[in-house]
């Protein structure tokens, strides 16, 4: 155990921006065959991608650590500890950012990888079984994980039977024991997806997707057109673990997913990505903000659907004659200045200047893949399936990495002739504007690629208690 | 034997507790940064000091109760043993009270500080001073000093004076560190200068216990 704080912990997001450049990325690489019951199933893996431009193996997968089971569906990941360990009310700065935790969205296991022994080859050291999560917390289908000031918080989509309510449970940051359900009073909250917090305001925010039964076999058109997927944002008292307020954005907006609160703990606002409007197939980004003692929410970005000929569209969309943008992930740079928006339908990554969060300005775009466009990458050797999905921003805000896959059963619906697993890099210009790095294209072979975690931390891995 | 050393030791331990980020100065700085106000830093420190004093007072109260009920020769062994055991426990299981919350009232800060000081054994660390120094009245010089001012460390007035002295030293050092960090140095120093005081602290508990046992 070191005598000084882990050097990857920073008191404030501003200081974290001066961190050294990342050299490695850890990417969840799920296999679709195992989930879909097809021939040649593989085990899911955690891929290490070399990001050091001076290295001979730059932009290649240098290791793939397989998990021991089939059909887990590795998805998101998070660290056992991060800058939140420096929070003043429960400081424990001498734990290490060492273990990468990967919740498996289908099997409900949580795999714990040690990245310290050999950072290039993480080693599986512990598996938290679904039964432990179910018996201690009553939850199942763990999804997103954040290292908090007093433990590891994990969101879960539902209960072991595949129904709601979804919620949050807490793990001990050293023993990884499941400490139990987080909520004391969940109020009207039932559906669950993402969560994060405003540590300076003792406020937790959560969003809504659907119960496991509503999503595991793919998007259910009847539920979507019946407006049954989530469309609310929930505000919680982080200290008292109580529901405070539900903000409904209207049920024509379906699937309120990724939450990106301002990194600066004094700021009380953040962005939520919404996948689709059943009124016009558009996608949107919403701003929540504090107004006096209450919280408010409003739409600040609308991205319209793109018309497309029916023969380019999957069965699900043929009748509409258009490609929905499908905003499935967003990410905010550590200086709270640029918001990145993944349009997984139309194959576009957008950059918005959110210096004034109430009026985002669209300042950059990159096209790659897409349901109808299939825009190639200079190194992809032809049209690409898949599109910008999980997006990650380097701590200095200069590089963006993103991958192509959403969720195996959904991938099949939107890209029925097969979705290629890949990861690319985008360079950010000083003062705004983005461009695809023509030399960086990581082919995941038979596997798909989901969330990217950068060595030492990134723009969605850490929370800060100081401005 | 009359000596000023027990009193100096109590003040020095107060300064040491004040230096520790976990005892409150860091929380005060964070609250100041959150409210963008240097005054908020100082405002937070007073309830933090009160909570600290309450925790130390609890330990001293237990000692006084022990003195009244346990044979004199055994008490130093008990306090020394408890300190060493607690220090080893802190080394093996360096845990903190689970606390989440930045939006705190003055009362919250008193409770928080009491919990942190108690969990760290801040009061326990002082007990050998009381055990060893009970025959040492507070130093008193000059013609204005009348007899009663020579307070014995084992009297109620002595306890109160000792806790006040310790707490004032803790408050003064906390305030100095918090203001320097808030106005001058900035929090980047945390990354370099934040040594694992918890282990030093555990060592100090064990040392205090051993001194109590040997002397």
Distances (CA, A) of B79 to A266, A376, B85, B93: 45, 74, 10, 21
Neighbour count for residue A125 (Cβ, 10 Å)? 13
Instruction: Name the one residue in this structure whose structure tokens are 């997913």.
Output: A257
For residue B34, give the nearest of A1, A86, A266 by CB distance. Answer: A266
Q: Give A-chain residues touching B190 at CB under 8 angstroms.
A: 5, 11, 86, 93
A34-89 per-position pLDDT tens digit: 999 999 999 999 999 999 999 999 999 999 999 999 999 999 999 999 999 999 99
Q: Give A-chain residues touching B22 at CB under 8 angstroms.
A: 91
**How many beta-carbon pairs under 8 angstroms link A with B?**
87
Q: What percent of chain A has pLDDT over 70?
A: 100
* Confidence band, pLDDT 50/70/90 cuts, at residue A2: low
Through-space distance between the first and last CA atoms of chain A, rounded to whole angstroms: 28
Nearest CA in chain A to B104: A202
From B49's Cα to the closest Cα of chain A, the distance in A is 15
Q: What percent of chain A has pLDDT over 90?
A: 97
Q: What percent of chain B has pLDDT over 70?
A: 90
Q: Residue ranges of the domains in chain B?
A: 5-74+100-137+151-194
Cα A272 to the chain's mean position, in Å?
12
A432-443 per-position pLDDT tens digit: 999 999 999 999
From B68's Cα to the closest Cα of chain A, the distance in A is 37
Asked if the Cβ–Cβ distance from B99 to A90 is below 8 Å, we say yes
Neighbour count for residue A116 (Cβ, 10 Å)? 11
* Confidence band, pLDDT 50/70/90 cuts, at residue B146: very low
pTM of the complete model: 0.94
Asked if the Cβ–Cβ distance from B36 to A266 is below 8 Å, we say yes
Q: What is the pLDDT of residue A220?
A: 97
| Tokens, residue B120 | 């760290």
Distances (CA, A) of A87 to A45, A145, A301: 33, 18, 33
| Tokens, residue A261 | 């609160």
Phi-psi region of A440 (alpha: psi -120 to 50; beta: other; left: phi over 0): beta
* Confidence band, pLDDT 50/70/90 cuts, at residue A208: very high
Q: Give B-chain residues touching A9 at CB under 8 angstroms.
A: 191
Q: Give B-chain residues touching A92 at CB under 8 angstroms.
A: 94, 96
A401-415 per-position pLDDT tens digit: 999 999 999 999 999
Asked if the Cβ–Cβ distance from B99 to A465 is below 8 Å, we say no
A302-353 per-position pLDDT tens digit: 999 999 999 999 999 999 999 999 999 999 999 999 999 999 999 999 999 9
Output the average pLDDT for chain A: 97
A415-433 per-position pLDDT tens digit: 999 999 999 999 999 999 9
Through-space distance between the first and last CA atoms of chain B, rounded to whole angstroms: 14
* Confidence band, pLDDT 50/70/90 cuts, at residue B209: confident
Which residue out of A86, A88, A244 would a mutagenesis test of the B interface target, given it has the greatest number of B Cβ atoms within 10 Å? Answer: A88
Q: Which of the two residues, B72 and A464, has the higher pLDDT score?
A: A464
Residue B149, pLDDT > 50, answer no
Nearest CA in chain A to B94: A92
d(CA B2, CA B160): 19
The values of phi and psi at residue B211, to 5°, are -60, -45
Distances (CA, A) of A17 to A266, A428, B29: 17, 14, 21
Which residue out of B25, B30, B119 would a mutagenesis test of the A interface target, given it has the greatest number of A Cβ atoms within 10 Å? Answer: B30
Report the DSSP pairing between strands A434-443 and A422-428: antiparallel
* Confidence band, pLDDT 50/70/90 cuts, at residue B190: confident
- Chain B, 21-40: which have a CB under 8 Å from a chain A CB? 21-22, 26-27, 29-30, 33-34, 36
d(CA A213, CA A215): 6
- Chain A, 84-113: which have a CB under 8 Å from a chain B CB? 86-94
d(CA A391, CA A405): 11
Q: What is the pLDDT of residue B145?
A: 45
Q: Give A-chain residues touching B188 at CB under 8 angstroms.
A: 11, 15
Q: Tell which residue, A87, A237, A262, A13, has the closest CA to residue B30.
A: A87
Asked if the Cβ–Cβ distance from A91 to B33 is below 8 Å, we say no
Q: What is the pLDDT of residue A172?
A: 92
Residue B3, pLDDT > 90, answer no
A307 DSSP β-pair partners? A322
A76-118 per-position pLDDT tens digit: 999 999 999 999 998 888 889 999 999 999 999 999 999 999 9
Which residue out of A7, A16, A86, A89 would a mutagenesis test of the B interface target, given it has the greatest number of B Cβ atoms within 10 Å? Answer: A89
Q: Residue ranges of the domains in chain A?
A: 13-454
Asked if the Cβ–Cβ distance from A11 to B94 is below 8 Å, we say no
The arithmetic mean of pLDDT across residues B145-150, rounded, is 43
From A139's Cα to the closest Cα of chain B, the distance in A is 22
Instruction: Name the one residue in this structure whose structure tokens are 């918005």.
Output: A352
Output the average pLDDT for chain B: 86
Nearest CA in chain A to B96: A90
Distances (CA, A) of A440 to A122, A203, A234, A429, B176: 23, 39, 39, 17, 51
From B100's Cα to the closest Cα of chain A, the distance in A is 6
- Chain A, 213-252: which have a CB under 8 Å from a chain B CB? 238-239
Nearest CA in chain B to A92: B96
Say how many CA atoms lie within 13 Å of A40 toward its Cβ.
2
- Asked whether the beta carbons of A346 and A323 are under 8 A apart, the reply is yes
The arithmetic mean of pLDDT across residues A236-264, rounded, is 97
The interface pTM score, or ipTM, of the predicted complex is 0.90
* Confidence band, pLDDT 50/70/90 cuts, at residue B2: low
| Tokens, residue A362 | 């669209």
Q: What is the pLDDT of residue B128?
A: 85
From B56's Cα to the closest Cα of chain A, the distance in A is 19
| Tokens, residue B186 | 């900035």
d(CA B165, CA A282): 67
d(CA B152, CA A102): 61
Q: What is the pLDDT of residue A356?
A: 98
Q: What is the pLDDT of residue B73?
A: 80
From B170's Cα to the closest Cα of chain A, the distance in A is 17
Asked if the Cβ–Cβ distance from A467 to B34 is below 8 Å, we say yes
Q: Tell which residue, A467, A452, A463, A405, has the closest CA to residue A24.
A: A452
From A89's Cα to the closest Cα of chain B, the distance in A is 6
Domain A13-454 part of CATH 2.130.10.10: yes
Any B CB within 8 A of A161 CB? no
Instruction: Name the one residue in this structure whose structure tokens are 């072979």.
Output: A445
Any A CB within 8 A of B108 CB? no
Instruction: Name the one residue in this structure whose structure tokens are 């998805």.
Output: A75
Say how many CA atoms lie within 13 Å of A371 toward its Cβ.
31
């Amino acid at each position: 155990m070191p005598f000084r704080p882990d050097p990857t912990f920073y008191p404030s997001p501003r200081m974290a921006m001066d961190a050294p450049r990342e050299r490695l990325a850890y990417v969840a690489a799920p296999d679709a065959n195992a989930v879909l019951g097809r021939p040649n199933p593989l085990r899911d893996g955690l891929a290490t991608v070399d990001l050091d431009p001076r290295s001979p193996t730059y932009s290649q997968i240098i290791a793939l650590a397989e998990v021991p089971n089939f059909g887990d569906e590795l998805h998101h990941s998070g660290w056992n500890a991060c800058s939140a360990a420096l929070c003043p009310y429960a400081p424990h700065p001498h734990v290490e950012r060492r273990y990468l935790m990967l919740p498996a969205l289908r099997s409900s296991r949580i795999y714990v990888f040690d990245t310290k022994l050999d950072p290039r080859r993480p080693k599986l050291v512990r598996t938290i079984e679904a039964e432990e999560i179910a018996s201690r917390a009553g939850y199942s289908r763990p999804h997103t994980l954040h290292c908090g000031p007093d433990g590891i918080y994990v969101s879960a989509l539902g209960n072991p039977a595949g129904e709601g309510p979804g919620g949050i449970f807490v793990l001990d940051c050293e023993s990884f024991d499941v400490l139990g359900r987080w909520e004391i009073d969940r109020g009207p909250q039932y559906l669950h997806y993402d969560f994060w917090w405003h540590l300076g305001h003792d406020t937790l925010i959560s969003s809504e997707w659907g119960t496991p039964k509503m999503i595991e076999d793919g998007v259910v058109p009847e539920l979507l057109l019946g407006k049954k997927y989530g469309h609310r944002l929930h505000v919680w008292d982080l200290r008292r673990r109580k529901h405070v307020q539900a903000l409904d954005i209207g049920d024509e907006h379906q699937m309120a997913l990724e939450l990106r609160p301002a990194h600066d703990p004094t700021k009380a606002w953040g962005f939520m990505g919404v996948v689709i409007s059943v009124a016009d197939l558009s996608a949107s980004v919403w701003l929540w903000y504090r107004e006096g003692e209450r919280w408010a929410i409003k739409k600040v970005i609308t991205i319209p659907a793109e018309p497309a000929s029916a023969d380019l569209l999957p069965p699900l969309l043929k009748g509409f004659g258009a490609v929905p943008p499908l905003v499935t992930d967003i990410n905010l740079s550590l200086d709270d200045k640029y918001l990145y928006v993944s349009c997984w339908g139309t194959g576009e990554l957008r950059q918005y200047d959110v210096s004034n969060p109430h009026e985002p300005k669209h300042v950059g775009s990159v096209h790659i893949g897409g349901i109808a466009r299939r825009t190639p990458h200079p190194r992809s050797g032809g049209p690409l399936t898949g599109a910008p999905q999980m997006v990650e921003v380097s701590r200095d805000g200069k590089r963006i990495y993103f991958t192509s896959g959403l969720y195996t059963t959904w991938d099949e619906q939107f890209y029925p002739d097969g979705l290629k697993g890949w990861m690319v890099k985008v360079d950010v210009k000083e003062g705004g504007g983005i461009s695809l790095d023509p030399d960086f294209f990581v082919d995941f072979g038979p596997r798909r690629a989901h969330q990217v975690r950068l060595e030492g931390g990134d723009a969605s891995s850490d929370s800060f208690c100081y401005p | 034997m009359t000596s000023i050393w027990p009193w100096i030791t109590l003040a020095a331990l107060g300064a040491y507790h004040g230096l520790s980020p976990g005892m409150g100065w860091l929380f005060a700085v964070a609250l100041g940064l959150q409210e963008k106000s240097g005054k908020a830093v100082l405002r937070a420190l007073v309830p933090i000091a009160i909570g600290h004093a309450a925790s130390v007072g609890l330990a001293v109260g237990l000692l006084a109760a022990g003195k009244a009920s346990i044979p004199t020769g055994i008490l130093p062994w008990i306090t020394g043993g408890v300190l060493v055991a607690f220090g080893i426990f802190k080394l093996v299981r360096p845990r903190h009270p689970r606390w989440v919350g930045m939006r705190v009232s003055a009362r919250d800060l008193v409770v928080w500080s009491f919990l942190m000081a108690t969990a760290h054994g801040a009061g326990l660390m002082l007990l050998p001073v009381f055990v060893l120094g009970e025959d040492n009245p507070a130093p008193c010089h000059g013609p204005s000093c009348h007899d009663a001012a020579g307070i014995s460390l084992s009297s109620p007035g002595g306890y109160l004076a000792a806790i006040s002295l310790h707490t004032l030293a803790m408050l003064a050092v906390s305030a100095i560190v918090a203001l320097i960090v808030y106005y001058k140095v900035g929090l980047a120093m945390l990354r370099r200068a934040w040594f694992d005081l918890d282990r030093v602290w555990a060592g100090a508990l064990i040392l205090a216990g051993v001194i109590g046992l040997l002397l």
